[in-house]
Amino acid sequence: QVQLVESGGGLVQAGGSLRLSCAASGRTFSSYTMGWFRQAPGKERDLVAAIRRSGGSTFYGESVKGRFTISRDNAKNTVYLAMNSLKPEDTAVYYCAATSRYLIVTPESYEYWGQGTQVTVSS
């Protein structure tokens, strides 16, 4: 069982930056691939970024490549999402998720979810 708690969301102007954190409980954090998803009102939940267990392999959604960076600290049981050059279209609830499975793109692949944190980017 893994419990995930996100923090770091808020209101920021376009072009600004935020860093989200996701703290995980349990001693098996390093066994999971971690992902950040986002969901805007009326839209599907989409993968923003994911990072494999060791941190050596990352994946990004096309819309955030070059602007967002995912990282993890297995000693602190925490995964981060650094978001730069934010745009109004980045506005959404951001969720942290964990999976022990190989496929990492779809929400259905993830076994554990946080409660989400709101990110709002004003124009």
Measured distance CA(15)–CA(84) in Å, rounded:
7
pLDDT at 27 over 80: no
Query: Under 8 Å CB-to-CB from 118, ≥6 apart: which residues?
Result: 9, 10, 92, 93, 94
pLDDT tens for residues 37-48?
999 999 999 999
Rounded to the nearest integer, the mean pLDDT of the chain is 96
50 Ramachandran zone, left/alpha/beta (phi>0; psi -120 to 50): beta
pLDDT tens for residues 43-63?
999 999 999 998 889 999 999
